[in-house]
Amino acid sequence: MDMLNTVLNLFLPPLTIIFLFLFYPYYLLIKLVVCLYKHIRLENVSGKVILITGASSGIGQHVAYEYAKKGAYLALVDRRKDRLEIVAETSRKLGSGKVIIIPGDVASVDDCLKFIDETIHHFGKLDHLINNAGVFQTVLFEDFNQIQDANHIMDINFWGTAYITYFAIPHLRKSNGKIIVMSSGSANIPLPLSSVYSASKAALLRFFEALRVELSPDIKIVIILPGFIATNMTTPRFIEKYGSDFILSESVNKCAKAIFRGIARGETCIEEPSWTKWMVLVKNVCPEIVEYPLKYLFLRYLKPAYFK
């Protein structure tokens, strides 16, 4: 076994470089052809049942509106019932024929079972599960009053998504449906002041990559990797701490439109804004090029503002 690993250590790197040099251009050409085909043949979601967690605001709210415009039926989930009612009413006006709201907390196993059961009881099926519910973090890891205070981030962002996905799988298998999961660009790029948040999103990324293999071909999985998006989860905190929103923030409406188009095209991974994928590529090839500027940004601007 040691001999085999020694051989792989010696020969796999040059063979990989040769393979990429010879075949990567053809791979990109195939990707271009497939991309053009997907732009022509979009999924028709009219009459399909879409369950969206974290639907009362932010990306979840605006993705709901995009589905509503195309005539999808919606099951909207969040802890804030009053906000859900507003989103539901707007969705009906935009064109959704049937909308229900199901208040509850994704961090509760019982609530996650309730979300699925009530959706199936009302509509009789489930076509898309959009795992959007999540919480953000803007605190140094060492500044948690006690380490257990970080648990709720993982409970909502990771386990809440895993719970509801577990209960949805049998119904999505019947409809050959889709699981859409909201990870984050921070799953691939280190983000200061969000260590546990980044860990929860990285866990989602790897969990659903593995689940994609397990559930193929019955259920398709779409992983979303948003960059800096101006939502009410992040924007007020940036304005409070730093005086303005982050300069690279994209509007939540534009982000939601891009996500919906990607889902309809059958994409398996959606990075929005799309330029962020190139940062990940650079980081994988030469990590220092990305990490050093982030360290400078943190030490020069974020950390001093944080300690004001």
- Which amino acids are annotated catalytic? 197
Residues in the chain: 308
Extended beta strands in 169-284, E state:
178-182, 220-226, 229-230, 250-251, 269-272
Coil/strand/helix, residue 182: strand
At residue 223, what are phi and psi to the nearest 5 degrees?
-105, 125
Residue 70 has which token pair? 């195309």
CB atoms within 10 A of CB 158: 19
CA–CA distances in Å: residue 266 to residues 33, 221, 259, 269: 14, 9, 11, 9
